[in-house]
Amino acid sequence: MLLSKSSYPLRIISDHVHGKVLGDPELVIQGLCTLDAPQPNHITFIRAKGILALSRALKSLGNCAAFVLDQEIPNDVELGTTSLVLVPEPYTAFLDSVELFYHEEPHVAGVDSTATIHPSATIHPTAAIGPYCVVGRGVTIDAHTVLGPNVRVFEDAHIGESTVLNSGVVVRERCVIGKHCIIHDNTVIGADGFGYTPDKTLGLRKVPQLGNVKIADRVEVGANSCIDRGALGSTTVGFGTKIDNLVQIGHNTTIGKFCIICGQVGIAGSTVIEDGVVLSGQVGVSDHRRIVAGVRVGGGAPVTEDILEPGDYFGHPLLRVREWHRHQVELRARMSRRNAPR
* Structural domains present in the chain: 2-104 (3.40.1390.10), 172-322 (2.160.10.10)
pLDDT one-digit tens code per residue, 184-196: 999 999 999 999 9
Give me the percent of the chain exceeding a pLDDT of 90.
Answer: 74
pLDDT digits (tens, 9 = 90+) for 250-262: 999 999 999 999 9
Q: What was the pLDDT predicted at 322?
A: 81
Inform me whether the pLDDT recorded for 49 exceeds 90.
Answer: no
Per DSSP, the residues of 198-263 read: EETTTEEEEPP---EEEE-TT-EE-TT-EEEPPSSSEEEE-TT-EE-SS-EE-TT-EE-TT-EE-T
The confidence score (pLDDT) of residue 237 equals 98
Q: What is the pLDDT of residue 1?
A: 58
Q: Which residue has the higher pLDDT, 49 or 313?
A: 313
Q: What's residue 56's pLDDT?
A: 74
Q: Which neighbouring-strand residues pair with 197?
A: 205
**CB within 8 Å of 299: residues ≥ 6 apart:** 262, 280, 281, 282, 283
Q: In this predicted structure, what is the pLDDT of residue 143?
A: 98
pTM: 0.87
Residue 224's alpha-carbon distances to 33, 217, 305, in angstroms, are 29, 20, 28
Q: Say if residue 301's pLDDT is above 70.
A: yes
- Which amino acids are annotated catalytic? 251
CB-based contact 210:233 (threshold 8 Å): no
Q: What pLDDT score was predicted for residue 42?
A: 94
pLDDT tens per residue across span 88-113: 999 999 999 998 988 777 889 999 99
Taking 80 as the threshold, does the pLDDT of residue 327 lie above it?
A: no
Q: How confident is the model at residue 132 (pLDDT cuts 50, 70, 90)?
A: very high
Burial of 95 (0-12, 13-18, 19+ CB in 10 A): middle
pLDDT of residue 5: 66
| β-sheet with 158-159: strand ranges across | 122-123, 140-141, 158-159, 176-177, 212-215, 234-237, 254-255, 272-273, 290-291
